[in-house]
A = this chain, B = another copy of it.
């Protein structure tokens, strides 16, 4: 039993190290981009040696893919949290208002841009992005089709997917475009957004 425990401890430590490296990588990628962030810098940031990273990840690309997975998961979770009619506009605004998060586990706009740009070149990343996109869209579509009693909007199955697509586009657009100029009146924006959303849902 003591051996079992020690093995578990080792496993836990292994996971912790992986996370340390992943977090450091995320920080570096956000600061410099996938390509410009060097393994040495990531190692420094993680407080480990450069060589050690290769015990946890096959190569730099594996780290990038892991970060992408993580980011897409976060993004998906965030989108999922939007499921609530009255607050939809607020939520979207909150979302697009968010500061670039230093803490791990949060979605980063810069990373999303980096990922999208990379997806145009790397088919593996492209596929990951497409998979995530499909999942998020169908979740949104399901939600829009649910009856109001179930927290949905009772949309017709014929239009729901398209509306989900547009909704996502608007969210993405606000996030991308809005991040650049934050002096927009939030209250007014919410009102305008609500008008648009009413045309959608």
Interface residues of A (CB under 8 A from B): 30-33, 35-36, 100, 109-110, 113-114, 116-121, 126, 129-130, 133-134, 137, 159, 162-163, 165-166, 168-174, 176-178, 180-181, 184-185, 188-189, 192-193, 195-196, 198-200
The CA of A121 and the CA of B184, in the complex, are separated in Å by 22
Main secondary structure of the interface of A (DSSP, over half): helix
Instruction: List the 3 closest A-B pairs by CB distance, nearest first.
Output: A173-B173, A113-B117, A169-B173
Known: A30-B120, A117-B117, A176-B176. 19 other contacts (CB 8 A): A33-B117, A35-B36, A110-B117, A113-B117, A113-B120, A130-B180, A133-B177, A162-B185, A163-B192, A165-B181, A165-B189, A166-B174, A169-B170, A169-B173, A170-B173, A172-B172, A192-B200, A196-B199, A196-B200
